[in-house]
Chains A and B, each alone.
Chain A
């Protein structure tokens, strides 16, 4: 197939062509630099060399020894190691968190118990103090008299004289 058959125009006229906008076509003009443009035979030779290069590379790559199995194993090993490490980190983090939480709860419980014991001690002390005060008051009321009982009649006489 000639260049013209393929593109509908000679190589020199290739500058004027359709610009693709999606699948819609709109004409656009490309400037031609005669000094830099390539002749069709030269371009054809370069494209032939390009094809030969791709063919040679493809043939070499196609017949190379396959390493797919090894690669898959390495990947799966790495994947498993990654998962194991990830799981270990997550488990460590979770157990550390649980331990820390448990430790804090234990400390809080001990502090609460200490506070409750202190409270009970204060209440007990207060109760003892009140009982002592009551006892002393009772003793005072029981034992305190203005004059001894042997002098009671004399004291009454004196009180009558003063009243008179």
Chain B
């Protein structure tokens, strides 16, 4: 018969298996640096493992993990800003490269080109957003989280999340419309 610790360990393994790609994806989109995203993902799950016992299940495991990932990301930029931010920026993939990852689907070459250009513009708009706006935007439009979940993950009120999101969307619209 399995002990409580073994059950908890099995539960955590399942959480890692099912949520790791999503956490990595969010961190990759936030940093545009695969190595950094990988490191922060590792740290996120290490931190989650240490605190797994205190997770009370008030929110979903995904929301809880996302909250840890957001805080790690914030801490990282805060620490890097003073020391190695130049290097950190250098490691980021540039916008053109980031927008190349678009499945061709059933589009014509011309449509594909247009879609890539538009995706590139979205990346450019995302780069210009504040940290909070970017986080909220990515959680909504990449991770497709509900506003209430985003509010729980970021620790903001739903109203504030809405406001950040609408500003971010306005910026994207402006960038796509050709406004600077």
Does the CB pair A58–B98 fall under 8 Å?
A: no
Cα of A27 to Cα of B50 in the assembled complex, Å:
43
Q: Quick check: is A8 within 8 A (CB to CB) of the other chain?
A: yes
Stretch at the interface among A12-20, A87-95, A117-125, A135-143: A12-20
Per-position 1/0 for B17-34, Cβ under 8 A of A: 000010011001100001
Interface residues of A in 50-66 (CB under 8 A from B): 50-62, 64, 66
Interface size on A, residues (CB 8 A): 38
Does the CB pair A49–B102 fall under 8 Å?
A: yes
Does the CB pair B103–A56 fall under 8 Å?
A: yes
Identify the closest chain B residue to A43 (Cβ): B173
Cα of A43 to Cα of B178 in the assembled complex, Å:
13
Per-position 1/0 for A60-88, Cβ under 8 A of B: 11101010100100000000000000000
Identify the closest chain A residue to B143 (Cβ): A51
Identify the closest chain A residue to B141 (Cβ): A47
Stretch at the interface among B7-15, B65-73, B82-90, B162-170: B162-170
Cα of A4 to Cα of B156 in the assembled complex, Å:
21
Does the CB pair A52–B179 fall under 8 Å?
A: no
Interface size range of chain B in the complex:
35 or more
Q: Quick check: is B40 within 8 A (CB to CB) of the other chain?
A: no
Q: Quick check: is B176 within 8 A (CB to CB) of the other chain?
A: yes
What residues of B have a CB within 8 angstroms of the CB of A68 in the complex? 38
What residues of B have a CB within 8 angstroms of the CB of A52 in the complex? 102-103
Q: Which of A1, A7, A46, A68 has the most CB of B within 10 A?
A: A46
Cα of A58 to Cα of B23 in the assembled complex, Å:
10
Stretch at the interface among A33-41, A108-116, A146-154: A33-41
Q: A23-B156, A51-B141, A57-B101 are in contact. Are A37 and B169 (CB under 8 A)?
A: no
User: Could you name 29 residue pairs across A and B whose Cβ atoms are closer than 8 Å?
Assistant: A7-B169, A8-B162, A14-B166, A17-B167, A23-B157, A23-B160, A25-B163, A36-B179, A37-B173, A37-B177, A38-B173, A38-B177, A43-B176, A46-B115, A46-B118, A46-B122, A47-B141, A49-B119, A50-B123, A51-B144, A53-B99, A53-B102, A54-B29, A56-B103, A57-B28, A57-B101, A58-B24, A64-B34, A68-B38
Given contacts A46-B118, A58-B21, 17 further A-B contacts (CB under 8 A): A14-B170, A14-B173, A17-B166, A17-B170, A18-B163, A33-B177, A38-B176, A43-B169, A43-B173, A52-B103, A53-B99, A54-B29, A54-B101, A55-B142, A56-B101, A57-B101, A66-B38
